[in-house]
Amino acid sequence: MTDLSAPITLNDGVSMPRIGYGTYKVGDSEARRTVEAALEAGYRLIDTAEMYGNETGVGRAVRESGLAREGLFLTSKVWNDHHGYDAARRALEDSLERLGTDYLDLFLIHWPSPRQDLYVETFQALLQAKEEGLIRSAGVSNFLPEHLERVRDETGDWPSVNQVELHPYFNQAGLRDWHRERGIATQSWGPLGQRTGSLLGEKPVAAAAEAHGRTPAQVVIRWHLQHGCVVIPKSSRPERIAANLDVFGFELSGAEMDAIDGLETGRRQGIDPGGTER
């Protein structure tokens, strides 16, 4: 049985914690406070992005924590208006400057943005940055298999990670298997159902929470981990930030996992990565 509290090893040999703190919709000044709470609670992976506008606050909290940089795992993402080799490289350098660090542990292409058709070239910039030690691992986000295959065909490398919308209402069972067969780690965004407040009140989630003496959020986070996903829940509240990490002292049974899987709706909450919106 895999030790879910231990890091996973990515396809390039880099170790990544299985749970991290997400910072979408956390403002720059708020990030300083919430990232400090997350680091104090024991999170070692922090997920930010150029688009979140909070890299300066995240970087400040990281530096003020006094924790050794090598013990932390920092992820950021290049936004859609910086696709293309040179633009992505500049965006990475700007992210590093805002974060006040010499390197990122993981840098992701935030969306494939197929209408621009520049994601392969953008990924080449990430591979070059990895060669130079500016990033330790090169990954993507919101990529469909067709985008991943094209990256692999044209660069020779699979991304290490694909961060995608994933929660019990949209559990991505097919994509998880597809990733597993190719050694790509699946990272879940919107893991608590994001805007859909009803998830934490669903019967199978509430029943498991009661059976294990846990909160519904802890049950859902545990469900991600038992499915082999890396999970990055966000909260602005210190008590929730700490509780969301306390998910290693219980295990969901096969029947509880199946019941939560049964909440699948087949519908995304976010936009379609293959569409033209982005």
Ligand X SMILES: NC(=O)c1ccc[n+]([C@@H]2O[C@H](COP(=O)([O-])OP(=O)(O)OC[C@H]3O[C@@H](n4cnc5c(N)ncnc54)[C@H](OP(=O)(O)O)[C@@H]3O)[C@@H](O)[C@H]2O)c1
Q: If we measure between CA atoms, which residue out of 117, 118, 116, 95 comes closest to residue 107?
A: 95
Return the range that interacts with ligand X (CB under 6 A); candidates 9-17, 19-27, 96-104, 259-267: 19-27
Q: Which of 193, 202, 208, 223 binds ligand X (CB under 6 A)?
A: 193
Alpha carbon dihedral 99, 52, 91, 126, in 10-degree steps, equals: 90
- State the nearest-atom distance from the C-beta of 104 to ligand X, in Å: 14
**Counting contacts by CB under 6 A, is residue 243 touching ligand X?**
yes
Q: Choose between 133 and 163: whose C-beta lies nearer to ligand X.
A: 163
Q: Which residues have CB under 8 Å from 90's CB, separation 6+?
A: 82
Rounded CA-CA distance 235/43 in Å is 13
Q: For residues 38 and 241, what is the distance between their CA atoms, to the nearest angstrom?
A: 6
The residue among 74 and 129 lying less far from ligand X, judged by its C-beta, is 74
Q: Confirm or reject binding of residue 194 to ligand X (CB under 6 A).
A: yes
Contact of 62 with 72, CB cutoff 8 Å: yes
Tell me the backbone φ, ψ of residue 161, rounded to 5 degrees.
-140, 145
168 touching ligand X, by CB under 6 A: no
> Active-site residue among 21, 24, 43, 52?
52
Query: By the 8 A CB rule, do 249 and 225 touch?
Result: no
- Token reading at 270: 């976010």
Residue 134 or residue 220: which is nearer to ligand X going by CB? 220
The yes or no reply on residue 104 touching ligand X (CB under 6 A) is no
Binding of ligand X at residue 160 (CB under 6 A)?
A: no
Report the b/e string of 11-25 with b at 16+ CB within 10 A. bbebebbbbbbbbee
Residue found under tokens 């060669």: 131
Question: Residue from 80, 113, 124, 141 that binds ligand X (CB under 6 A)?
Answer: 141
Nearest CB to ligand X, comparing residues 13 and 275: 275
Q: Is 190 in the site for ligand X (CB under 6 A)?
A: yes
The correct pick among 80, 95, 160, 163 for binding ligand X (CB under 6 A) is 163
Q: Is 52 tagged catalytic?
A: yes
Using the rule CB under 6 A, give the single segment among 63-71, 80-88, 154-162, 240-248 that binds ligand X: 240-248
Q: Which residues bind ligand X (CB under 6 A)?
A: 22-24, 47, 110, 141-142, 163, 189-194, 200, 215, 217, 232-237, 240, 243-244
Active site residues: 52
